[in-house]
A = this chain, B = another copy of it.
Amino acid sequence: MNEESIKFLLESVHKGSCSPEDALTKLKDLPFEDLGFARLDHHRALRTGQSEVIFCQGKQPDHIISILNHLGAKAENVLATRLDLENANKILPYFPNAEYDSLARCLLLRPLAEPSIAGKILIMTAGTADLPVAQEAWVTARYMGHEVDTLFDVGVAGIHRLLGQRELMDRAEVLIVVAGMEGALASVVGGLVEQPVIAVPTSVGYGAHFQGLAALLSMLNSCASGIGVVNIDNGFGAASLASAIIRRITRDK
């Protein structure tokens, strides 16, 4: 429902092919679908350039099935995140083509297509325990059409592991840094590269980590600049931001 279509509507009123009452109704009739418990936002893709994604945490399995059916009928593919194994097993029988990634806790209604958008995203982790979050970012980025490189387990306690990978970093348009514990990797990477860096704190750590708070504060206070932070463990959010940046680069070419 963009400016063009409103102009068109107003011209129809002007020409008499649409009554004022109908125009009023249409102005309100925006493209979302009411399932009673959920309002699907089909035109989000038009508005923000991103497909609808189902955030499953706290949702009932039957609600998720219903939403998948409705979205799946209109969209090429659908991504469901934060879906734990127990619920996935209740949902998968209804969608024979769906694929579930237990590490990422993500379900895709149909297999991933090949990347369709130029510009690489590099996903880095500080440790192997950060992998689930990195994998959520990977699935999301691929679902949104992007090429993704990965560089895992390059935490700053062994900084030469990172310094030897300069070339891989240079190839990327955007870098996603996933790190728990003290989250220092974001600062070190931010000091090395000119590209935008998206920092994802993870809840990996113990004691005074406070479920990711330590890494989150660390990343927000980075002494390097050019870093944007997303929520703790939010691999999906990091990939969405990376996608928004790369689509901007692509669009303007």
Contact = CB atoms under 8 A, between A and B. Distances in A.
Interface of A: 1, 3, 6-7, 10-11, 13-14, 16, 19-21, 23-24, 27-30, 32, 36-39, 41, 44, 47-50, 53, 55, 57-59, 63, 82, 119, 126-132, 152-161, 163-164, 166-167, 173-174, 180-184, 186-188, 190-198, 201, 203-234, 236-237, 240-241, 243-245, 247-249, 252-253
Contacts of A207: 201, 203, 211-212, 216, 220-221, 231-234
Given A30-B161, A44-B158, A206-B82, A226 B244 contact: yes
B190 A187 contact: no
Nearest to A152: B37
Contacts of A166: 3
Contacts of A58: 128-130, 132, 180, 204
A127 B52 CA distance: 14
Nearest to A188: B156
A244 B195 contact: yes
Contacts of A20: 7, 10-11, 13-14
B221 A217 contact: no
Contacts of A215: 221
A252 B14 contact: no
Please give the count of copies of this chain that the complex contains: 8
Given A10-B10, A157-B224, A214-B218, 20 more contacts: A1-B160, A3-B166, A10-B24, A14-B20, A28-B164, A39-B152, A48-B224, A57-B204, A58-B204, A82-B206, A157-B222, A181-B223, A195-B248, A197-B244, A203-B207, A206-B233, A207-B216, A208-B232, A210-B217, A229-B230
Contacts of A180: 58
B164 A30 contact: yes
